[in-house]
Structure 1
Amino acid sequence: MKVALLAPLPPLQNGIADYAHGWRAALRDAGVDVVVPASGEDGGWDTRDAAFWRDVDLVHAQLGGGRGPEFVALEQLRVRWPKLATSATVHDPERLVWRSPDPAKGLARKAAAWPRPLPQLLALAGDRNTLARERRLAAGLDAMVTLTRTGAACLAERMRVDPDRVHFIAHGNPALPPSPLPTAAGVRLLYFGFIYPGKGIEDLFDALALVRRDRAQAGFTLTMAGGSAPELAFGSRGNYVAHLQERARSLGIADMLQWRLDLPETAIVDCVQSHHAMVLPYRDSRKLALLGRMRGTSGALSWANACGRGVIASDARAFAEELSHGNGVVFAQGNSQALAQCISALVDAPALAGDWAAKAAALGKRRQWSTIAQEFSDLFAATVEAKR
């Protein structure tokens, strides 16, 4: 089977590019011929090359992150090659693209460089047309995939499609040998992922300050690891890392922090496994809430499962579902006091980290890329057969 992949890929710095990189490798290992079409200078995909598309059995897109090229390519392919089976993994349900998927050279690209909140206001102004366009595409896709069950239910309802056409396939992760928790005294916490506003990092710092105030003698540290210059859908806010470092100094917790910015992929496993637990304090965007609910998951959480480490996460996205396996604990997003209580509980009872780690490792084993790739391969085979 030949599958054409439409997706951002490294060296682009975002979570979907990282996912697509692992996804492509896993599908190829499972015997699927995954090919990537040519892209144009404007960032769009070439959907006209007859020699390429006539040999393809199915096209699969990775949708999300506010990107439009993959969405537009799917629209074009449905018109130009109507017999071609089409599918997509929707990373940010309950919507497909969230903002007008105009070609990159259009207004959407210019708006990304505008100061906040102008890009968000533009997306809100055009939302009615964008939603109608998303529903038209969803109605024509042969299959859609979400990384959480919560996301699948939300997507089917919002796009007004038969729930049987939306499939849950969990985020894959590499197969790794088990690693014991660190034996050093004190609890070592890790924030891992791209570092940008909206991740609730300020809440995490506030929580650390509260724990230090109440447990001055307790030994615990936090490592801030991840990409410092991600590709963002709605632009940036200047030097965000410098802002965070200044906030840490003002809260009196700078000495508790270690910074490992732009961590190379080869160092991820050692970094995660050298800590007791990961902390993901994400917040759902209040501006995006006007457009829909984001009910996806996190690549960082997937790494925690692969490495056998538990997670303290907010109830943003679909984290409550992801941590329902006993692999961590959930707190109310934006509530630094609640987060401080979770951290304090771990500091007071470090054995919790071992319980979480065991459950995370079991989940990671079930979600190894080889298993996930076979689920996709089976779905693609059934989709192509149904299309024929």
Structure 2
Amino acid sequence: MRLALLSPLPPDPSRLAHHAAQFRRALNLGGIDVLTPLVGQRPLESLEAARAWVAERDWRGVDVVHAELAPGQRTVYWVLQALARLPHGPALTATVHAPPGLLGQPLHAPFAGVYHARWLPRLTRQASAWLAAPFTRHIDRRLARRLAGVLCTSDASATRLARRLGLPRERITVLPQGLPELACPPLPSGPLKLLCLSGPGQALRPLQDLVAALGQLVAQGGDDLPPWQLTLAGATAASCFEPPRHDPLTRLQADPRLKALGDRIAWQLDPDPQDLPALMAAHHLLVLPERPQPWGLGEAEPGPTAPQGACDLALAVGRPLLVAQQSGQAEQVTSGNGATYTVGDHATLLAVLQDLLTDPDRLSDWATQARRQATSRQWTQMSARYVGFFQQAVARSTRAATK
């Protein structure tokens, strides 16, 4: 099978490009010949330019074209639209990284011009996207009808996509994000160490709720509880090129409830992203109290300490998860590698923390399942599942063409 991958690739420094490189490697391991026609291509600024670009190339030897769709990938979106207009073109598939829309931003004047004008107020730019939403949804649905298959990473995202795009649910395949092949060291010895990753753009309230629950834990247990420590880590506004709307870690430092916990709280501010795997491995458990971080208006990707990236990193090093239902990562603990709680429900969170402190076997069981999940989701192990998805998409496209 020959597949054309529409996506940025290294040396592009984005996380999407890194994902695409790992994805291409997994497909190569499965015996798929991957072409990368957009490498070295200047951005295409319109559908007309994309149609001309598509017309200049021979697509007869390509079985399937797969697009990595995320905010900012206008060239990928235009090319996919142009390919959808070919009378006898290859099968088309896509991974949607920012559901419920395919691209998540307006593409047509005048809304696109307002949306991408960084000098305008944020609310004005958001209003342009809101006003363009009906037209954007119409364009997305028209393109989605030509797709032989859609990939996303969770059942919740698949449900939202099916509703937004008007697609049958069976057309959308859920495959979790592939994980890097990192070492899964055993749990560290000593007292229970919790790690909470946050950063600019995240809300302060979920962190305050976590601190309040820990304060209640100390008040109820006193000196009878085994020792524990929470490390708060992530970027601050000082490390950002553009001032963020929220800087939760800096604001949290002034919270008197946090100061009352004393040396039970540790800080790792503005860590180097390359040091995050070692930081994660030095702790027993990752706590995710926050909701998913959206892509920014400037098409900025969620950072490595956002819930999506933090969760994948914890799983890659075999660490259990304690996630809030609002984090969007509840599906990540269904294999017995952690637990969920509701932000604001201190009783549930307290019960889980007390169990972890008084029943070490529970944490050990979670860690065992986390290591199994880390192995099963490595890119090399995901290869066969990706190949199966594309085989089904090509077969579905062939059946549709013969009707």
Aligned to 2:401: none
| Distance (Å, rounded) in 2 between the aligned partners of 1:147 and 1:229 | 32
3-state SS of the aligned residue for 1:3? strand
Aligned to 2:188: 182
The 1:43/1:383 distance shift into structure 2, 3 A limit, reads same
Q: 1:204-240, CA deviations, whole angstroms, 9 ceiling, x for partnerless residues?
A: 2442254146417643121414798999xxx965385
Matched, 1:172 2:182: no
3-state SS of the aligned residue for 2:322? strand
3-state SS of the aligned residue for 2:104? coil
What count of residue pairs does the alignment treat as equivalent?
A: 371
Aligned to 1:191: 196
The 1:374/1:214 distance shift into structure 2, 3 A limit, reads closer
Scaled by the length of structure 2, what TM-score is found?
Answer: 0.77
Q: 1:287-324, CA deviations, whole angstroms, 9 ceiling, x for partnerless residues?
A: x9xxxxxxxx8233222222111111121364222222
Aligned to 1:321: 331
3-state SS of the aligned residue for 1:180? coil
3-state SS of the aligned residue for 1:298? helix
Q: CA RMSD in A?
A: 3.8
Match of 1:245 among 244, 250, 254: 250
Identity of aligned residues (%): 26
The answer to whether the 8 Å contact 1:67/1:101 transfers is no
Matched, 1:272 2:272: no
Q: 1:112-150, CA deviations, whole angstroms, 9 ceiling, x for partnerless residues?
A: 553333332221111111111111111111111121233
| Distance (Å, rounded) in 1 between the aligned partners of 2:233 and 2:284 | 14
- Higher RCO (CA-CA < 8 Å; seq separation 6+): 1
Match of 1:207 among 210, 214, 217: 210
Aligned to 1:306: 316
Scaled by the length of structure 1, what TM-score is found?
Answer: 0.79
Match of 1:139 among 115, 140, 145: 145
What amino acid does structure 2 have at the position aligned with 1:300?
A
Q: 1:305-348, CA deviations, whole angstroms, 9 ceiling, x for partnerless residues?
A: 22111111121364222222221111224667765664455345
| Distance (Å, rounded) in 1 between the aligned partners of 2:112 and 2:58 | 27
Matched, 1:62 2:71: no
Correspondence 1:17-28 to 2 at 5 A: 17-28=17-28
What amino acid does structure 2 have at the position aligned with 1:116?
R
Report how far residue 9 of structure 1 moved. Answer: 4.5
Aligned to 2:303: none
What amino acid does structure 1 have at the position aligned with 2:154?
T
More divergent stretch after superposition (14-23 vs 24-33): 14-23
More divergent stretch after superposition (65-74 vs 165-174): 65-74
3-state SS of the aligned residue for 1:321? helix
Match of 1:89 among 95, 106, 111: 95
3-state SS of the aligned residue for 1:136? helix
| Distance (Å, rounded) in 2 between the aligned partners of 1:375 and 1:26 | 10
The answer to whether the 8 Å contact 2:114/2:120 transfers is no
Aligned to 1:356: 366
Matched, 1:6 2:6: yes
Unaligned residue ranges in structure 2 (runs of 5+):
297-306, 399-403
Report how far residue 151 of structure 1 moved. Answer: 2.4
Aligned to 2:231: 222
Match of 2:270 among 258, 261, 264: 261
Q: 1:23-62, CA deviations, whole angstroms, 9 ceiling, x for partnerless residues?
A: 2232233333333314325688984153475553322112
More divergent stretch after superposition (324-333 vs 222-231): 222-231
